[in-house]
Amino acid sequence: RRFAPLAAAVLVLPGLVFPYLNGSILNPGSFQEIPAYWHATADWLKKYSPDSRALVVPATAHGIHTWGSTIDQPLDVTAKSRWAQRDYVPFGTPGNRRAMDAVEQALLTGSQVPGLADYLSRAGIFYVVVRNDLDPDQIGQVPTATVKRTLEQSGYERVKGLGPVMTGGVIPQDAPLAVEGLYPRHRAVEIYRPADEDVPRPGQAGLAPVADTAVVSGGPEALLPVAGALRGRPAVLTGDRHPGLGTAPLQVTGDGMRYADTRFGLLNANTSYTYTRDERNAPDADQDPGERPRQILPFEGLEHQTVAELRGARSVTASSYGNWLFHLPQYDPVHAFDGDPDTAWAEGSVASPEGQWLRIGFEGSYPMPDSIGLLPLPQDGVRAAPTRVRVETEKGSATSFLKANGEKQRVKAPEGGTSWMKLTIVGSTAGRPGLTGAGFAEVDLPDVQVTRMLRLPRDAERSTSPVQVVSLHRAADPTGMSLAAGESGLHRAFTTGTAGTYEVSAKAVAIPGEALDRLLYEVAPEQRRRVLATADSTARLGAGLSARNLTDGDLTTAWIAGDRPTIHLSWTGRQEIRELVLPPAGGLSARAAEVHISSPDGAAIASVDETGMVRFPPITTDRLDITITRAAPLTLHNPVVDDDLQLPVGLTEAYLPDLDDEFRTEQPSGNRAFSLECGEGPVVAVDDRLYETAVRGTVRDLTERRQVDVTLCQDGEAAPGLELSAGRHRLEGGDAGPLVLTDVTLTRGTAEQAATSGRDLEIRDWLGDRRTVTVGSGAASYLTTYENYNKGWTATLDGEELTPVRLDGWQQGWRVPAGAGGTVTLSYGPATTYDAALIGSGAGIVLLIGLVLWRRRAENPDAPQPVPPQPGLWLGAVALTLVGVVVAGWWALLVPALALLAARRHTLLVPVAFASLAAAG
């Protein structure tokens, strides 16, 4: 019996220890080791990028990969060269955070970002590392296919792939086979570099001439749209100190640093629409309700920021908007009053939409009619819809019922003059709380149309620079999937410090729809003699889904319907038509099951078989309008809403066998250039005067929705020069038509091409807190290390301290005076104190050890003290039982009873212990 405990230990302990030895006791997300391809990535960067910094994208909050959760990034422990990422927590300076945010938001668009390569080069970044092994299901994760599309469209090329081929996402178990094939396959890590050999490759430090400095009004993000034009030029922000500069040769005013709220706990969808000067967060917002927006700024002052101004109303507010967790600027409350049914306000409450409201303050007394028009957002499997609303004014209130069908309806309103109107949802259908809220695409008030105008920073209004540039930019959304694009139209107000001629250059992108379908035929006029295909709507699921694809004879192209699945086919000459083939597109679309065919010469309703064949009584006509009235059931499970969603209808062709093959309309070459004459491009309004435009580009620019060049016209001819007086001006462009403005640049004067510094730069020592470089002779220059500005760093040139300056709004720099060069020593002052503290601590430890080992032992003069008595058995049992009741509840009363039983019956000790542990789980 005395060996029983030993035998039990021998039998039980191995079972307890084994899970720890083989790793099976590890928590979810644990991993055995970092994959070998991350070590290979670090080796590759060390070899090909020993001096430049590499950017790792996309950003991630917690380092959750498909193979484990590292919290920190794998390159933290594997990298042997410099690298950077957009951190979840803003460890660097505010300017650096804004610069990295600008890059992350640009990558989110999935479209061309002019100047991206130059912008990263200015930051000391050359290679971009795309990590495809991030967990695609984590909140805020950007699909790497979107990131790579942005890089490729913006002038980057893939130079290396490492690791195994991985699927870009987790394929649902019940996903249709056609959907499974859409999941992209990537190498675990892919590395990109600029394809343009002229993009400067930065080193560990750089020099730029002071004489070429551009002063930029706004934040670091304002440099992105103009980075290509500023290649080789140093830049400082207007709000920063720039001693010794004098009058800069170039002044740039941009609209990047906007007065908006930021939710720092999110990677993306974390920035609100631009606020007015007096605007506050919504009263029902989850973060800082009713407070001023939370921002991270390189310097304070609204004069340095782009601020919104409302036109058409004194104020527009709402109880909430978009979503309780994310900022969704596309649901700006102003969108309910902007006259555009394609924009909307949606409430963002975490629970029911009932009680959520929308309020407009008029500029004076408004004659409210006895009824107003409402266009509610339609109910779907996720969104709730309002079924009863209350309209309140100074004259009283009126309550009306609404149909949850997404159609425009009229509701009662208190008639008479009022200075405000409030619309409250008092009844609604059920939806998914906390996702997308109920709302209105349009609140139709006669003679009321509200625009959110963005007022550029006012800190450069008195600039005397010989060259002045005004840069206006809004995010493009070519795929319709970006959360970064929430702006309706381009509406800007700015101030020019000097009167003169301003050259206007602009960019535009194509938007899907019938107008774009027609434009694609206009750029290839010979194809209008064949079958023309247009559609009432096109799903925004990606670029290149035009209805034009339905008649090109190419089964690899497709059209996917939006909310109005109707296509229009027309041709020259009346023909007898009795058959139609509508092959399904596959992928994220369902096949057509029934169609309604109409034309001026007859109509028919017919079913569509699985091959796409449609047969109907003959119709002799030159046009068919085909509405898909029923789609075959094909659903895809959406884990976010925990529901099966019906996929939209998609077709790869609309083939008419009764027409000869000569009617087929092959796609024109993507490289084919096109031009639209004055009056055919998007209209631009400057100070309420309308200007026609001309457009140049390629067919591929339209099909892939890349930027095309827009030229201002005057008197029917291209004339980009505008005479502007000194003072305030407005420039606007709407969203109507196939092309919408995304960028406009106004330039007064001619900027000379930036020269090289003319000074040699040699890196001698580059240790952590003490560095040495040699600068050659030449003109005054800025020395930069492409690192965060920190007052602790000092630089001396042959013993003379250099003047520090913050470049690009965040970079550490110094002004190197003109003349002979010499040795520049960079040192980090706090490191001296830190090193002294370490030395002192080490000496203190050595001294303490010496005192312990060498002190003489003194005899103990005190007699031994008696041992205090132990607490009573009952006192201990009662005390422990009370503690157990607090921790585990009333079940803890069983513990003393079971202990007493085991004490009196020793043979029951093991069974009682086993039963207790089993019951506790």
pLDDT in tens, 238-292: 999 888 888 899 999 999 899 999 988 888 888 999 999 999 999 999 889 999 9
Higher pLDDT residue, 586 or 311?
Answer: 311
- CA distance linking residue 42 with residue 55, whole number of Å: 13
What count of residues does the chain have?
Answer: 921
Output the pLDDT for position 111.
86
Where do runs of H (alpha helix) occur along 481-541? 514-522
- CA distance linking residue 196 with residue 316, whole number of Å: 46
Please list, in sequence order, all residues whose beta carbon lies within 8 angstroms of the beta carbon of residue 713, skipping any fewer than 6 positions away.
Answer: 678, 679, 691, 692, 693, 694, 719
- Mean pLDDT score, 84-106: 89
Question: Which contiguous run of DSSP H or E holds residue 17?
Answer: helix 4-22
Question: Quick one: how far is CA 430 from the chain centroid?
Answer: 30
Q: Which of 18-27, 342-351, 806-815 has the lowest mean pLDDT?
A: 18-27
CATH class of this structure's domain 467-511+672-748: mainly beta
For the cut 70, the answer to whether the pLDDT of residue 33 exceeds it is yes
Q: Report whether 373 contacts 440 (CB < 8 A).
A: no
For the cut 50, the answer to whether the pLDDT of residue 67 exceeds it is yes
- CA distance linking residue 460 with residue 304, whole number of Å: 9
- Ranges of each domain in the chain: 36-200, 313-449, 467-511+672-748, 525-663, 877-920
For the cut 70, the answer to whether the pLDDT of residue 640 exceeds it is no
- Mean pLDDT score, 805-824: 95
The two domains 467-511+672-748 and 525-663 share their CATH topology (first three levels equal): yes
For the cut 80, the answer to whether the pLDDT of residue 7 exceeds it is no
Residue among 225, 307, 209 at smallest CA distance from 258: 307
For the cut 70, the answer to whether the pLDDT of residue 907 exceeds it is no
Neighbour count for residue 791 (Cβ, 10 Å): 9
Output the pLDDT for position 484.
46
pLDDT band at 404 (very low <50, low <70, confident <90, very high): confident
- CA distance linking residue 384 with residue 373, whole number of Å: 20
Amino acid at 490: L
Output the pLDDT for position 890.
61
pLDDT band at 728 (very low <50, low <70, confident <90, very high): very high
Beta strands in 12-132 (DSSP E): 53-57, 64-65, 68-69, 83-84, 125-131
pLDDT band at 90 (very low <50, low <70, confident <90, very high): confident
Q: What is the DSSP letter of 381?
A: S
Residue among 685, 680, 675, 781 at smallest CA distance from 732: 685
CATH topology of domain 313-449: Jelly Rolls (2.60.120)
- Mean pLDDT score, 546-551: 87
Output the pLDDT for position 851.
81
- CA distance linking residue 308 with residue 317, whole number of Å: 13
For the cut 90, the answer to whether the pLDDT of residue 875 exceeds it is no
Give the up-direction half-sphere exposure of residue 92: CA atoms within 13 A in the CB hemisphere.
22
For 429, phi then psi, to 5°, come to -80, 165
Beta bridge partners of 727: 496
Question: Which contiguous run of DSSP H or E holds residue 105?
Answer: helix 94-108
pLDDT tens digits along 454-463: 999 999 888 8
Taking the alpha carbons of 205, 208, 213, 214 in that order, is the dihedral positive or negative? negative
Where do runs of H (alpha helix) occur along 553-704? 699-703
For the cut 90, the answer to whether the pLDDT of residue 884 exceeds it is no
Buried (b) or exposed (e) across 541-576, using 16+ Cβ within 10 A? bbbbbbbbbbbbeeeebbbbbbeebbbbbebeeeee
pLDDT band at 737 (very low <50, low <70, confident <90, very high): confident
Output the pLDDT for position 481.
47
Most confident option among 60-69, 164-173, 302-311: 302-311
Q: Which of 23-37, 110-124, 444-458, 596-610 has the lowest mean pLDDT?
A: 23-37
- CA distance linking residue 694 with residue 686, whole number of Å: 16
pLDDT tens digits along 278-319: 999 999 998 899 999 999 999 999 999 999 999 999 999 999
User: Between 1.20.1560.10, 2.60.120.260, 2.40.160.40, 1.10.150.650, what CATH number should domain 525-663 receive?
Assistant: 2.60.120.260
- CA distance linking residue 429 with residue 388, whole number of Å: 10
CA angle 844, 845, 847 (to 5 degrees): 65
> In a 3-state reduction of DSSP, which class is residue 37?
helix
Mean pLDDT over the full length of the chain: 86
- CA distance linking residue 548 with residue 532, whole number of Å: 7
Q: Report whether 425 contacts 319 (CB < 8 A).
A: no
Amino acid at 312: G
Give the up-direction half-sphere exposure of residue 579: CA atoms within 13 A in the CB hemisphere.
11
Higher pLDDT residue, 899 or 786?
Answer: 786
Question: Which contiguous run of DSSP H or E holds residue 119?
Answer: helix 116-122
- CA distance linking residue 76 with residue 901, whole number of Å: 56
Neighbour count for residue 892 (Cβ, 10 Å): 16
- Mean pLDDT score, 138-160: 90
